[in-house]
């Protein structure tokens, strides 16, 4: 690891060699990427914490059409599928991998325009203006959904003059994408933006039994609308509306562990969601600026699959089953905060104070065909939180940031097995950051933070314990909240002309009452009972870096990399397997991304990226691993006035990349011998895109 101290030294040295005259240059020479998700807008180079930002240019570089296509670019970020799209995120090795009968609280949340989409999966990114990845606990800012981090997405909004972009893409696997974005001002105080997108694909699976190639298809429509109203000099209102209509198939797992399935009843991954948010900003008070948001989301999903992965008649010892989850989710949340103005400082400290409240209801109907069994449950969760943050300058260049959030949650749970359980707890999160702003181009920080996420009820385990009289499952009725402590040291630096930008962070995280996924196989067959358990503790530590180098006017290079070491604390599964001291799931030891933009001529650009990831365990409850992989993306684009034409390839080397894995027996042809079964990401993609922008 000799490169680590060398890199830190280089990063610190970049701006230090500048002359005093250069240091006093206007701030316009600084990198202009501002983080939208923090309490105040800051340049990513001047904000303590490990934060990665992707803009529209980064989306184009890899010809990304979905968030899945972008996540490989982030250091220490991973994801799990188990559905038609990647749905569950992990940061620094922390995060969930599935949600079946029991409602989970994600360790890594997702916000789109301030609306909580955590655990739902995301469709369109065509109108995304910026994607921010907060790595490490962000409880003060985001609460219980940011135990390990947060993805904050901001879409493009209204403009003061007519602006638009229309694009079309054709690709292999009978894929196409149509997208449009238009924004304008109706008058001096009212403006709007509208974004529409349709994606369609046959998917990447051949169903050998049905002789079809579209059982894992993609069919997604997304609409987003913003209306911004400047009421007067001091008050701005914005209405945000989202609509998602996803009608995807789900037929991803094969008994032969390849892309050819034998299912006679392929599954589905359907989501219908609509969301509204009303945002307000008031600047008329002398001592503070007031921000507020009320948001509502209603989502219905139908997720199911052929549980036996085969057809009737494949073997005399077969079983035939489908598993289906009908889930309704409705949430209402309010978030109000006051942010100090220069006149409103406490002494010489800037401050933030806010309150947050949410009411969420989750209704589930699970239908298991071979048992002719239906299981219903309902969870109502109420959250109430107060938070505050102080930024205190100490002397020239030095400052301290202190943040605190206290949150109460109350759960009411009921199901068809007669279980009625109430859970509640009061949790708290905090941050303490010591910052040294060497000059406008360099920041050194030392950060300590505490994150949390709520506990819950193992309703499926309780119901099966009653059905099968299993005392072991009866002990897993509930699981406790988890706490994560993080210590972090970081350095950020950039050259005055922005030819070099570098960020590096080293961290050590301690997980207490770590939540892990447990499984019990009561009848030694293909049916499993899942539940969430608490391991004693966990350790996660490592380093992550991001660099941009403008070699010359024709060549720019982008490098991100991470190294991660994780360990489970005292953890023995309900089946008696001891995994104490083993690496945690979804935690590859290294990841990297190297990309280059080569401007061959003024209109002609060639983009290439190489991304790699080490192998990792798929679960904390078994030892199945993914394979290490390298991913190559290519793009050749031509700019002709307002037109852009591109020929591209993703996963150009056609690698099989595992995005979900299980270890159990599901094949009657070999006596249900246990195997590692994997779901694979997209194979080689080749396509052409055309866009018109004005």
pLDDT band at residue 272 using 50, 70 and 90 as cut-offs:
very high
* DSSP conformation class of 85: S
CB-based contacts of 62, cutoff 8 Å, min separation 6:
69, 70, 73, 595, 607, 609, 633, 635, 650
* Exposed/middle/buried for residue 151 (C-beta within 10 Å: 0-12, 13-18, 19+): buried
Closest CA to 672 of 663, 661, 680, 659: 663
Residue 177 clears pLDDT 70, i.e. is over it: yes
Tokens of 285: 């008070």
Helix (H) or strand (E) holding 112: strand 108-112
pLDDT band at residue 522 using 50, 70 and 90 as cut-offs:
low
pLDDT at res. 527: 61
What is the set of domains in the chain, with CATH numbers?
Answer: 3-693 (2.40.170.20)
Closest CA to 567 of 617, 626, 628: 617
Neighbours of 200 (CB within 10 A): 15
Residue 21 clears pLDDT 50, i.e. is over it: no
pLDDT at res. 301: 96
Distance from C-alpha of 102 to C-alpha of 441, rounded to nearest angstrom: 47
pLDDT at res. 29: 36
- On whether the CB atoms of residues 627 and 639 are closer than 8 A, the answer is no
What mean pLDDT, rounded, does the chain reach? 90
Q: What is the mean pLDDT of residues 45-70?
A: 89
pLDDT at res. 468: 58
% of the chain at pLDDT higher than 90: 76
Q: What is the mean pLDDT of residues 249-277?
A: 97
pLDDT band at residue 153 using 50, 70 and 90 as cut-offs:
very high
Convert the pLDDT of each residue in 442-454 to its tens digit. 999 999 999 999 9
Convert the pLDDT of each residue in 286-312 to its tens digit. 999 999 999 999 999 999 999 999 999
Q: What is the mean pLDDT of residues 121-148?
A: 92
pLDDT at res. 570: 87
Residue 13 clears pLDDT 50, i.e. is over it: no
Q: Is 144 helix (H, G, I), strand (E, B) or coil?
A: helix
SS3 content of the chain, % helix, strand, coil (to 5): 10, 55, 35
pLDDT at res. 18: 36
* Exposed/middle/buried for residue 481 (C-beta within 10 Å: 0-12, 13-18, 19+): buried
> Using CA of residue 60, residue 61, residue 65, residue 67, what is the dihedral sign?
negative
pLDDT band at residue 4 using 50, 70 and 90 as cut-offs:
very low
Q: Where are the alpha helices (DSSP H) in 253-372?
A: none
C-alpha separations of 273 from 118, 121, 223, 276, 331 in Å: 13, 11, 11, 11, 12
In residues, how long is the chain?
694
Convert the pLDDT of each residue in 590-646 to its tens digit. 999 999 999 999 999 999 999 999 999 999 888 999 999 999 999 999 999 999 999
Q: Cα 280–290–229 angle (5° rounding)?
A: 25
CB-based contacts of 95, cutoff 8 Å, min separation 6:
78, 80, 88, 89, 106, 107, 108, 148, 586
Distance from C-alpha of 80 to C-alpha of 170, rounded to nearest angstrom: 27
pLDDT at res. 524: 53
Lowest mean pLDDT among 96-100, 266-270, 283-287, 555-559: 96-100
pTM, to two decimals: 0.92
pLDDT band at residue 474 using 50, 70 and 90 as cut-offs:
low
Distance from C-alpha of 462 to C-alpha of 473, rounded to nearest angstrom: 7
């Amino acid at each position: 690891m000799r490169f680590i101290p060398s890199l830190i030294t280089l990063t610190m040295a970049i701006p230090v060699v500048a002359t005093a005259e250069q240091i006093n240059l206007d701030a316009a020479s600084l990198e202009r990427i501002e983080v939208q998700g923090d309490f105040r807008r800051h340049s990513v180079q001047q904000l303590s914490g490990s934060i990665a930002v992707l803009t529209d240019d980064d989306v184009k570089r890899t010809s990304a059409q979905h968030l899945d296509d972008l996540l490989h670019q982030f250091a220490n970020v991973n994801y799990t599928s188990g559905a038609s799209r990647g749905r569950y995120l992990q940061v620094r090795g922390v995060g969930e991998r599935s949600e079946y009968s029991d409602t989970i609280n994600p360790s890594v949340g997702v916000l789109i325009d301030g609306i909580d989409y955590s655990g739902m999966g995301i469709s369109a990114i065509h109108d995304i203006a910026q994607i921010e990845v907060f790595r490490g606990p962000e409880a003060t800012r985001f609460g219980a959904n940011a135990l390990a981090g947060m993805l904050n997405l901001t879409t493009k909004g209204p403009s003061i003059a007519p602006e638009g972009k229309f694009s079309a893409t054709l690709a292999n696997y009978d894929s196409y994408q149509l997208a449009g974005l238009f924004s304008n001002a109706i008058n001096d105080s009212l403006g709007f933006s509208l974004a529409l997108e349709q994606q369609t694909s046959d998917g990447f699976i051949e169903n050998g039994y049905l002789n079809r190639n579209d059982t894992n298809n993609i069919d997604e429509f997304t609409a987003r609308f913003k209306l911004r109203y400047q009421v007067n000099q001091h008050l701005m209102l914005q209405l945000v509306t989202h609509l998602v209509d996803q009608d995807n198939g789900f037929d991803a797992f094969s008994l032969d562990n390849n892309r050819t399935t034998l299912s006679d009843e392929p599954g589905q991954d359907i989501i219908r969601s609509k969301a509204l948010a009303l945002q307000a900003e008031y600047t008329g008070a002398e001592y503070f600026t007031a921000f507020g948001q009320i948001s509502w989301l209603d989502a219905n999903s139908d997720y199911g699959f052929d549980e036996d992965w085969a057809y009737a008649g494949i073997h005399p010892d077969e079983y035939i089953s489908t598993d289906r989850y009908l889930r309704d989710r409705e949430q209402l949340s309010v978030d109000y905060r006051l942010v100090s103005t220069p006149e409103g400082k406490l002494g010489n400290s800037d401050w933030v104070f806010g309150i947050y409240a949410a009411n969420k209801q989750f209704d589930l109907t699970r239908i298991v065909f071979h048992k002719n069994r239906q299981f219903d449950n309902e969870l109502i969760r109420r959250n109430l939180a107060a938070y505050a943050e102080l930024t205190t300058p100490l002397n020239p260049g030095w400052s301290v940031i202190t943040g605190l959030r206290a949150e109460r949650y109350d759960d009411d749970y009921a199901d068809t097995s007669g279980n009625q359980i109430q859970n509640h707890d009061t949790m708290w999160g905090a941050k303490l950051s010591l910052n040294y702003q060497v000059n406008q181009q360099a920041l050194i920080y030392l950060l300590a933070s505490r994150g949390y996420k709520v506990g819950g009820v193992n309703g499926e385990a309780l119901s099966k314990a009653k059905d099968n009289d299993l005392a072991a499952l009866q002990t897993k009725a509930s699981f406790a909240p988890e706490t994560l402590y993080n210590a972090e040291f970081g350095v950020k630096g950039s050259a005055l002309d922005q030819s070099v930008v570098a960020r590096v962070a080293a961290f050590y995280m301690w997980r207490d009452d770590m939540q892990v996924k447990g499984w019990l196989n009561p009848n030694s067959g293909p049916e499993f009972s899942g539940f969430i358990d608490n391991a004693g503790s966990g350790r996660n530590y490592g380093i992550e870096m991001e660099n941009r180098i403008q070699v010359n006017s024709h060549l720019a290079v982008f490098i991100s990399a991470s190294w991660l070491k994780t360990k489970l604390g005292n953890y023995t599964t309900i089946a008696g397997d001891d995994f104490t001291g083993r690496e945690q799931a979804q935690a590859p030891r290294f990841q990297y991304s190297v990309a280059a933009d080569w401007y061959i001529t003024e209109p002609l650009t060639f983009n290439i990226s190489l991304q790699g990831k080490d192998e990792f365990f798929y679960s904390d409850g078994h030892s199945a691993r993914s394979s290490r992989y390298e991913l190559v993306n290519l793009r050749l684009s031509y700019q002709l006035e307002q037109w852009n034409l591109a020929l591209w390839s993703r996963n150009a080397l056609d690698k099989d990349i595992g995005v979900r894995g299980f270890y159990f027996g599901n094949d009657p042809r070999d006596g249900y011998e246990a195997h590692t079964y994997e779901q694979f990401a997209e194979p080689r993609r080749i396509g052409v895109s055309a866009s018109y922008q004005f």
